[in-house]
Structure 1
Amino acid sequence: MEAPMSRLVTNDKSQVQVIARAATILRALEDENAGLSLGQIAQRVNLARSTVQRIVAALETEKLVIAATPNGRVRLGPTIMRLAASVRSDFVSLARPFLERLSAELHETVDLSTVKKDHLVFIDQVVGSQRLRTVSGVGETFPLHCTANGKAYLAQLSDSAVEALIGRSYEARTARSITKIDTLLNELKVVRRIGVAFDREEHTEGICAAGVALHDPLGNAVAISVPVPSLRFANQANHIAERLLATKRALEGRMNASAA
């Protein structure tokens, strides 16, 4: 005998709810290298501890989470790490032709970075063809408040979220660095309006940059930036901004087509 339609619909909703809750728990464990207790997870995701315990047990079976300490704390497991690494590698491969095209158009270096809490990590780079050019190593980290790619990311957040993430005062990397939140928030208003952020010798003297932010297929924040020696930047800033926005639109269109 076939199951009643109402029962099938209820079961489907229940299964979707479990998946959504599992995803919320996994997100709560992101960047928690020391792990969280079941009680801490329950508080963060606003679920009953018993519900968290059941879902965590299922995730442990698949090694999506593993024990972090003998006293019950858990952290992300090797399975989720492999999946994330695979998606990140796929995204870098997907983005690479767009970075190469942008670099060829501008004859400048193009960087791809991802956001890790309150800093950026460079994950790919296409070196420009100019003799005088800027190069940063893949894997290097940079602050958010004084970089073009960092400010492009911050502009996607609310003002309160910016303050919660990086505080109200910041290190001066150069004489041009923004060091107070009010000044930064005023600049982020402009970035939200035009879609591009600028670093005018705020991180490193002699180097300017423009950057845009977007999200990879997993929803992780990433940014594309073009660093340029200050001598060339003033005359190229508007053109670089236009090409960055065009590259962002093209890459987002490619990701949307892949997901369809």
Structure 2
Amino acid sequence: MRDVTVGTKTVLGKATLILRSFAIGDQALPLAELVRRTELHKATVYRLCQELVALRLLSRDGSGYRVSGGLFELGMRASAERGLLELAIPFLQDLYERTHETVHLGVLDGAEVVYVSKINGHRQVRSPSRVGGRMPLHCTAIGKVLLAFGDPSLRQSVLSKPLERRTPHTIVAPGSLSKAVAAIRRTGVAFEREESALGITCVAAPLVGADGAVAAISLTGPTGRFRPERHVGALRATAVALSNAVRRGFPGHRDG
């Protein structure tokens, strides 16, 4: 399944398409599956996979190709995300200790949330989020916070396109999402109630730097037990403290 955002006219574009065809949770993928997902010629995929193996970005075993440690090393050199994560970890750990619920840290990338950190609670909840994974903005608590406190042009772009329905509870009407975003701007927190996956509920708050929301944090739990309203105070306190730390010392974000 081709990612249309990636150009495939160049060798670099084709290699990137192969790397991005690995989904969260994939182990080894056979050559035939990579050909199917990328829609590239089999000989091209084979040749580029061999080069990616030589560069330690992929590895190969009897069951196919898998993402290699070299790609992880490159990812860890993404200075902005790494700097934010290093700054945030003590705050996220404190929030976890106060709530014992699953804590997420997410950043904006295009029209999606990329999860930078996830600390699982004692009673883990099955959720689609994974560190390094992506989710649409409109159906996640973190995503809706980033929409509410991000650039107005991003909101306009998201609201002007069809919204994917992930569950029966996903907000897909632009007018309804616009009202929800306006409420988030008033209250400073966003809720998600089974909008990205059935059985989970989330509450999120923004991390506000000098130029607006730089990220967001959330608490997640099972719908049958988790009461997000009870944790708003702890979440807000952590978001404010971490936002202050971001404005003081996070590289790339100047003081106002």
Please confirm whether the aligned pair reaches a TM-score higher than 0.5, indicating the same fold: yes
What's the % identity of the aligned pairs?
32
Q: 1:258 aligns with which of 227, 249, 254?
A: 249
For residue 232 of structure 1, give the secondary structure of its aligned residue in structure 2.
coil
Q: How far has the Cα of 1:158 moved from its partner?
A: 6.4
> Do structure 1's residue 229 and structure 2's residue 222 form an aligned pair?
yes
Q: Does the 8 Å CA contact 2:201/2:228 hold for their aligned counterparts?
A: no
Cross-structure match for 2:121: 128
Specify whether residues 160 and 253 from structure 1 end up closer, same or farther in structure 2 by C-alpha distance, changes over 3 A only. closer
How many angstroms does 1:159 deviate by? 5.9
CA distance in 1: counterparts of 2:145 and 2:201, whole angstroms: 14
**Alpha-carbon distance in structure 2 between the residues aligned to 1:218 and 1:187:** 22
Matches within 5 A, 1:1-260: 85-130=78-123, 132-134=124-126, 136-157=129-150, 161-215=154-208, 221-233=214-226, 236-258=227-249
Q: CA deviation at 1:86?
A: 2.5
Change (3 A) 1:157 1:255: closer
Q: Distance in 1 between matches of 2:161 and 2:237?
A: 33
Residue 228 of structure 2 aligns with an amino acid whose one-letter code is A
> What TM-score, normalized to structure 2?
0.63
**In terms of Rg, which structure is larger?**
1
Alignment gaps of 5+ in structure 1? 1-31, 35-80
**Letter in structure 1 aligned against 2:236:** L
Displacement of 1:141: 0.7
Q: Are the structure 2 counterparts of residues 129 and 228 from structure 1 closer, same or farther at C-alpha, using a change threshold of 3 Å? A: same
**2:103–2:220 Cα contact (<8 Å) kept:** yes
CA distance in 1 between counterparts of 2:75 and 2:165 reads: 38
Q: How many residues align?
A: 180
Matched residue type, 1:88: E
What is the Cα deviation at residue 242 of structure 1? Answer: 1.6
Hey, what's the Cα distance between the residues in 2 that align with 1:104 and 1:83?
A: 26
SS of the counterpart of 1:254? helix
Give 1:252 deviation, angstroms. 1.4
Q: What CA RMSD, in Å, does the superposition of the two structures yield over aligned residues?
A: 2.8
Q: Distance in 2 between matches of 1:158 and 1:87?
A: 19
Which whole-Å deviations, capped at 9, do the CAs of 1:12-66 have from their partners, x for residues lacking one? xxxxxxxxxxxxxxxxxxxx976xxxxxxxxxxxxxxxxxxxxxxxxxxxxxxxx
CA contact (8 A) 1:104 1:128 kept: no
| Aligned match of 2:60 | none
3-state SS of paired residue (1:227) = strand
CA distance in 2, matches of 1:82, 1:203: 26
Residue 138 of structure 2 aligns to a residue in which SS? Answer: coil
Q: CA 1:122 to 1:83, structure 2 compared with 1: closer, same or farther past 3 Å?
A: closer
Q: Partners of 2:243 and 2:219 in 1: how far apart?
A: 18
Question: What letter is aligned with 1:92?
Answer: L
